[in-house]
Amino acid sequence: MAEFLLELFSEEIPARMQVKAADDLKELVTKGLTEKGLTFKKAEAHSTPRRITLVVDGLPEQQPDTVTDKRGPRVDAPEQALQGFLKSINQKNFDKCVKEESPKGTFWFYRENVKGQPTPAVLVDLLTDALRKFTWPKSMRWAGNNFMWVRPIHSVLAMFNGEVLRSKNVTGFQIGKDSSINFGDFTQGHRFLSKGKITVSNFADYREKLKKAHVLLDRAERKVIISDQAQKLANKEGLKIREDEGLIEEIVGLVEWPVPLVGTFEKEYLDVPQEVLISTMRGNQKYIALLDDAGKLSNKFIVIANMITEDGGKQVVAGNEKVLRARLSDAKFYWDQDRRQKLESRNAALEHITFHQKLGTVKERVVRLQAMAKEIAYLLNWGNEAALVQRAGLLCKADLSTGVVFQFPEVQGTMGRYYALHDKEDPAVALAIAEHYKPAGAHDTCPTAPVSICVALADKIDALVGFFAIDEKPTGSKDPFALRRAALGVIRIILENKLNISLKALFEASYELYEARLKGLRSKPDVSKDLMQFFTERLKVALRDQGVRHDLIDAVLAANAEIDKFTETHALILALKDFLATDNGANLITAYKRGANILRIEEKKDAKRYGGDVNIEMLSEQPEKDLVVALTQTSNRMKVCVDKKDFIGCMNAMSEMRKPVDTFFEKIMVNAPDPKLRINRLQLLGLLRETMNPIAEFSKIEG
């Protein structure tokens, strides 16, 4: 068994692309190996800013021999079919084919023993194919080559069993008409801390020599060093690191030899809201912010250098402090300037900011948000909050015209809150301005205060209705206006706050606010229908993320397609989930499926649907009579429970059917010899189906 080692060495690869690229390369190569009949023990992918590496261990040195066995057409088939078969096996005649008899006639068979190739030859073809198929989010050409890659490739290390990968005619990878990159057994170390080529013999040697050349190949190892050493430096300063997993992951992709250092900025900049300071440190310079014991931002930060310097990093720190000082100086200037003007007065400038060419300006949108947020407040019986809700709707976008937000767009909303508090606005209004963009992602928190909820819902519903009305719906691959995220945000706000609100009412109210601008475009019913379908799909995603089985979701939604109050839908799904976890629930669903299968077969045979019209006088057996009584009682109880939205009560009512249903199937033969009796019993099964299906389409439940 042998080892295959591959490294693609290039200019710096964007940090966000490295991990996926390594995984994609691993998948392409290992899938190709499997298709070629080459087994292996394990495969590992690694990435640094300048290299993507793959090692596959436990490969055989020779591809196994195979037998091609292909059945062709009948011997007496038309000539066109016979010639097509010969073409498919690359033969001119049937000399290498045999005739074989079968119950369906005599057929041509082609059999050929194919000798396996040496693994290096297979790998050359496989690697060339994989590199041609490889895709990046963004790629480039260089030096007149027609080959596309994320950054210019300098070398390809490709070795099998300690030898450079070669076949008879190929010693490298063609990247252009007149140029290629030869496969080799060498790489390079750190750009500044190592010089010259490094020749390697296998993966262990490769990793060890890279480490000596100041390159840590293992991403996890780099991450541990960054986290541990940064924490030690913070402890030494009496501070703690601001947790930011995303930032650490990005830094890991920027350095091959991490060296954490502590920098400082002037305390006067701490007067600026810390969200702005953290934003510029994180977004522009990739610095790790440090906090004091109270969670307040310190004037010290950690920079992760990719260098070891003779002065212990003093010049590196000084350079980074100088760059940060300039950014913080800008932030402080705009912060001081912005507070000289009332937040409300900035709304006039929103007339010059376009929301969308077909949907008007941000100022027009603010008018809609005020009205929509107020409407939501009344739909939720929060009319006493209407004045605050309207005020928050008026001010929620005003900070878009401030200097700080222009320089640091990621703090929109947050800065609006600071300016609102400075202007002595009601704290609930200020909070709503900050929270109306929430939740911004799966891990973000949802607003819980009434004013914040109303404005956050209004903001998302307005965007969804507007873009659906102009037919800018998300596609399978594109969602430029983040409408999926907006819909999931609406769903989370509704479910987490247990809001009893109609989505259809929200869509229609929002459409009416748009109506003058949307004249001649898609109708209100069409937009509402499409949005309900879109939200239903998003609800499925949200519930699956919570661990709810997809079949339970599908069963409830199939039976309640018209439900537009997702809090009720959610409660019903959870009640059903708990019910099926009980013995009564599990046994009842088994009995239901038995009955449903009988109905499916007999309805197909009889070409009719049995709908529960039972003839009581024909019920001669006690189990039949008991089942009718149980179904009638259960149906009545369930109607009351559904009206009260007592879905647990519905499940309790259904659980009482278990015994009479079980007894019916034990004692009664449905397909009785008497045709009339058979039909009546099928009608009884139809009644069972009709009793249970208003809650969920139980046939969709697995198991």
Q: Give me the percent of the chain exceeding a pLDDT of 70.
A: 98
CATH architecture observed for domain 577-700: Orthogonal Bundle (1.10)
> How is residue 101 written in tokens?
């008899």
**Do the first three CATH levels of 344-547 and 577-700 match, i.e. the same topology?**
no
The reported pTM is 0.79
Locate the domains of the chain by residue range. Answer: 2-62+118-212, 66-114, 219-338, 344-547, 577-700
So what's the pLDDT on residue 696? 87
- What does the pLDDT look like over 219-257, one tens digit per residue? 999 999 999 999 999 999 999 999 999 999 999 999 999
For the chain, give me the number of helices (H) and strands (E)?
Answer: 24, 18
Place of tokens 């649907």: 609
Confidence of residue 173 (pLDDT cuts 50, 70, 90): low
> How is residue 610 written in tokens?
């049995």
Report the chain's mean pLDDT, rounded to a whole number: 92
Q: What is the dihedral of CA 582, 585, 590, 594, to 10 degrees?
A: 170
2-62+118-212: what fold?
Answer: Alpha-Beta Plaits (3.30.70)
Provide mean pLDDT across the span 321-326: 95
Which residue did the predictor score with more confidence, 504 or 68? 504
Confidence of residue 562 (pLDDT cuts 50, 70, 90): low
Confidence of residue 563 (pLDDT cuts 50, 70, 90): low
Q: Which of 299-308, 512-521, 559-568, 631-640 has the lowest mean pLDDT?
A: 559-568
Query: For 126, how many CA atoms within 13 A lie in the half-sphere containing its CB?
Result: 26
- What does the pLDDT look like over 174-200, one tens digit per residue? 665 556 778 899 999 999 999 999 999
Spatial contact of 702 and 559, defined as CB atoms under 8 Å apart: no
The partner residues of 10 in beta bridges, in order of sequence, read 153
Q: In what order do the strands lie in the sheet with 259-264?
A: 240-241, 288-291, 297-305, 259-264
- What does the pLDDT look like over 410-464, one tens digit per residue? 999 999 999 999 999 999 999 999 999 999 988 899 999 999 999 999 999 999 9
CA dist., res. 673 & res. 602, Å (int): 14
CATH class name, domain 344-547: mainly alpha
- What does the pLDDT look like over 38-58, one tens digit per residue? 999 999 999 999 999 999 999
Among 369, 401, 269, 378, which residue's Cα sits nearest to residue 325?
269
So what's the pLDDT on residue 304? 97
Write out the DSSP string of 385-423.
Answer: GHHHHHHHHHHTTGGGGSHHHHH-GGGTTHHHHHHHHHT
CA dist., res. 424 & res. 391, Å (int): 13
